């Protein structure tokens, strides 16, 4: 794949402590990145205060609250975020068929809002999914993370989601699995670390990781990158490396 858009297919995860830091990051990076992701922490602190800035500066608004609740509550939360103008929102696939369907129905009030199912968190490894008791019902089925990601993705797709949050490690499998669906699901992949982070084992809490180039080559549509940029003492160098990787594929 070659990157033709002037902006990189990256959402900057605004996992910062206050409104002003987030505002400055949006202004600084609006011309570089496709959009910005507001997670639970920042949403609690700033609510919708950053939404119009992201939209006015030309970015896609990804509100990543990972909704996980009963169907009625999922419907209401998704509807509210859609009315507030979110381009992408997330619902946990583990919340189940009815809750996913309710989130999709709630978001439908805004035709531009796309609902993404979080499959298995990129911070989870095999031990974590065992700890939370994720088990295939058929004893002949593998209990690997990728098998669960695939299973959850199929369930969520049947309930009408527009795409998935997954590790880029699972992107080839998911693109293959949905090759024949009329509308290809959007794959958004967190767990992105540069080669230098891999080498020095700086992966923080992320477990299923890939470099930006590996992730795009694997079939990710967008990457989510937070700490490698926002916590770096030299963010411009990190950005240059990401650009170098993606623009020279
Ligand atoms: O700092 P880092 O690049 O690891 O940030 C990744 C971002 O993606 C975080 O905001 C995290 O909440 C989000 N995310 C994730 N794994 C998922 C879904 C979302 O890391 N499965």
How many C-beta neighbours within 10 Å does residue 85 have?
16
Dist CA 179 CA 171 (whole Å) = 12
Per-residue pLDDT of 122-175, as tens digits, reads 889 988 888 888 877 776 777 788 899 999 999 999 999 999 999 999 999 999
**CA of 139 relative to ligand 1 center, distance in Å:** 31
Dist CA 224 CA 4 (whole Å) = 19
Dist CA 241 CA 14 (whole Å) = 20
**Closest residue CA from atom 18 of ligand 1:** 121
Ligand 1 neighbourhood includes 39 CB (under 6 angstroms): yes
Note the pLDDT of residue 130: 85
**CA of 190 relative to ligand 1 center, distance in Å:** 5
**Which of 67, 132, 146, 226, when mutated, tests ligand 1's pocket best, judged by the most ligand atoms within 8 Å of its CB?**
226
**CA of 191 relative to ligand 1 center, distance in Å:** 6
Evaluate whether 178 touches 157 at the Cβ level (below 8 Å): yes
CA atoms within a 13 Å half-sphere pointing along the CA-CB vector of 133? 1
- Please report where in the chains the tokens 């609510």 appear, as a residue: 47
- Contacts of residue 222, Cβ cutoff 8 Å, sequence gap at least 6: 9, 10, 11, 34, 35, 186, 187, 188, 189
Evaluate whether 98 touches 73 at the Cβ level (below 8 Å): no
Ligand 1 neighbourhood includes 224 CB (under 6 angstroms): yes
**Which of 118, 122, 223, when mutated, tests ligand 1's pocket best, judged by the most ligand atoms within 8 Å of its CB?**
122
* Domain boundaries along the sequence of the chain: 8-247
Per-residue pLDDT of 195-223, as tens digits, reads 877 666 677 888 888 999 999 999 999 99
66 labelled catalytic: yes
Per-residue pLDDT of 75-98, as tens digits, reads 999 999 999 999 999 999 999 999
**CA of 203 relative to ligand 1 center, distance in Å:** 12
Catalytic residue among 55, 66, 184, 243: 66
- Please report where in the chains the tokens 């979080």 appear, as a residue: 118
CATH code given to domain 8-247: 3.20.20.70
What are the phi and psi torsion angles at 150 (to 5°)? -65, -45
The SS3 call for residue 35 is: strand
User: Structure tokens of 42?
Assistant: 């920042």
Note the pLDDT of residue 185: 98
């Amino acid at each position: 794949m070659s990157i033709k858009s002037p902006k990189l297919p990256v959402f900057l995860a605004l996992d910062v402590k206050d409104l002003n830091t987030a505002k400055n990051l949006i202004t600084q990076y609006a011309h570089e990145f496709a959009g910005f992701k507001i997670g639970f922490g920042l949403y609690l602190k700033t609510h919708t205060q950053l939404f119009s800035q992201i939209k006015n500066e030309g970015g896609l608004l990804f509100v990543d609250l990972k909704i996980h609740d009963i169907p009625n509550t999922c419907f209401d939360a998704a509807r509210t975020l859609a009315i507030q103008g979110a381009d992408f929102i997330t619902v946990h696939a583990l919340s189940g068929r009815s809750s996913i369907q309710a989130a999709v129905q709630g978001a439908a009030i805004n035709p531009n809002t796309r609902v993404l199912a979080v499959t298995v968190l990129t911070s989870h490894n095999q031990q974590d999914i065992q700890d939370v008791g994720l088990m295939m019902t058929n004893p002949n089925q593998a209990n690997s993370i990728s098998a669960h990601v695939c299973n959850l993705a199929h369930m969520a797709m049947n309930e009408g989601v527009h795409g998935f949050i997954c590790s880029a490690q699972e992107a080839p499998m998911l693109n293959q699995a949905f090759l024949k669906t009329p509308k290809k699901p959007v794959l958004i992949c967190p767990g992105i670390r540069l080669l230098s982070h891999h080498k020095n084992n700086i992966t923080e809490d992320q477990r299923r990781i890939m470099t930006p180039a590996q992730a795009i080559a694997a079939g990710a549509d967008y990457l989510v990158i937070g700490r490698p940029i926002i916590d770096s003492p030299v963010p411009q160098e990190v950005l240059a490396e990401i650009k170098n990787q993606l623009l020279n594929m």
